[in-house]
Amino acid sequence: MRSSRFPAGSWPAFAAAAVLLAVAAAALLGPLLAPHTATRPVGLPYAPPGAAGLLGTDHLGRDVLSRVLLGGLPVLATSAAGALAGSALGVTAGLGAALLGARRAWAEGALLRPLDAVAALPPLVVLLLALTALPGRAGIVLAVAVAGAPLSARVIRAAAAPMVSRGHVEAAVARGESLGWLLGRELLPLVAGPVLADAGLRFVMAVYLVTAAGFLGMGTGGTDWGVLIAEALPGAGLQPAALAAPVLLVAALGVSVNVLADEMLRRGRAVLA
């Protein structure tokens, strides 16, 4: 007999959570676990995995494992900050458009049209513009937030629009509650599942943009995973582990968060059903 505590459909989510925790732990504990510094050569260039290290060495003879471990925290921290900022902006705009647009059509347009204009720009263009205006980690966070907010606003507006006509929401409007109360206490709990799922998608996009910035030489540090991918490409035939390690970590992070986002969306729909 199958346990109701662990439905079959939840096992992919449990596996994704385990992968995500493993990647996050490696990133957070990387500075403590790295056997060598990021810059000191420890062997011959392009040494394969083995005596030179678990993942071998890079083109300058530096330990690949140490560089991978040291490069995870900047990627995760920058991605999380950008995704949080973008989701906060998008959720606020989406909830506001759903609530105000139900009574004043122009209010919805005033909130969403500027974001639609930003959404017309490819995220990589937004990244380059932001880094031109604000170089460094702050520029990457700004780019992630600006690129993610328009899509987040559209998703949350679509999820919140049917909830505006709920009895307790209309009662709160009739009582004259403030806009902050209506958005945060009346509407937000009704769309918590879509909000969390969308936040996961924003985080995945943030990881890709942060990695792209590193690949282009404008990343968060000299060892972030985008930088490691760019450095390992020319010698991928000689030392494939140096390229495979950061690529697989980025892929594992993206896939695991996407699976968890799907699970949160499914649970949110089940609660509202």
- 13 vs 270 pLDDT, higher one: 13
CA–chain centroid gap for 261, Å, is 11
Give Cα 54 to chain centroid, integer Å: 28
Which residue type sits at 139?
G
CATH homologous superfamily of 53-272? MetI-like (1.10.3720.10)
Tabulate helix, strand, coil % of the chain (nearest 5).
Answer: 75, 0, 20
pLDDT at residue number 4:
45
Burial category of 49 from C-beta neighbours within 10 Å (exposed 0-12, middle 13-18, buried 19 and up): middle
How far apart are alpha carbons 272 and 255 in whole angstroms?
A: 26
The answer to whether residues 205 and 148 touch, using CB atoms and an 8 Å cutoff, is yes
pTM given for the model: 0.87
- Confidence class for position 3, pLDDT limits 50, 70, 90: very low
The answer to whether 119 touches 94, Cβ cutoff 8 Å, is no
What tokens appear for 51 in the block? 């005596």
Residue 81 has pLDDT above 70, yes or no: yes
User: Taking the CB of residue 178, how many other CB atoms lie within 10 A of it?
Assistant: 10
For the chain, give the percent of residues with pLDDT over 90.
59
Residue 192 pairs in a beta bridge with none
**What DSSP designation does 208 have?**
H
Low-confidence winner among 76-80, 212-216, 229-233, 260-264 (lowest mean pLDDT): 260-264
Helix (H) or strand (E) holding 41: none
What is the mean pLDDT of the segment spanning 235-256? 94
Give the tens place of pLDDT for each residue, 176-220: 889 889 899 889 998 988 898 899 999 999 999 999 999 988 876
Q: What is the pLDDT of residue 173?
A: 86
Given this model, what pLDDT does residue 272 score?
Answer: 53
How many angstroms separate the CA atoms of 201 and 256, rounded?
A: 11
Q: Provide the token pair at 124.
A: 């990589």
Q: Does residue 267 register a pLDDT over 80?
A: no
Confidence of residue 152 (pLDDT cuts 50, 70, 90): very high
pLDDT-based confidence at residue 250 (cuts at 50, 70, 90): very high
Distances 227 to 76, 138, 210, 273 between C-alpha atoms, Å: 14, 18, 10, 46
Dump pLDDT digits (tens) for 38-59.
999 999 999 999 877 899 999 9
Token couple for 125: 């263009």
Handedness of CA 254, 260, 264, 269 (dihedral sign): positive
Segment 244-258 shows an average pLDDT of 94
State yes or no: pLDDT of 273 exceeds 70.
no
In the predicted structure, residue 9 carries a pLDDT above the cut 60: no
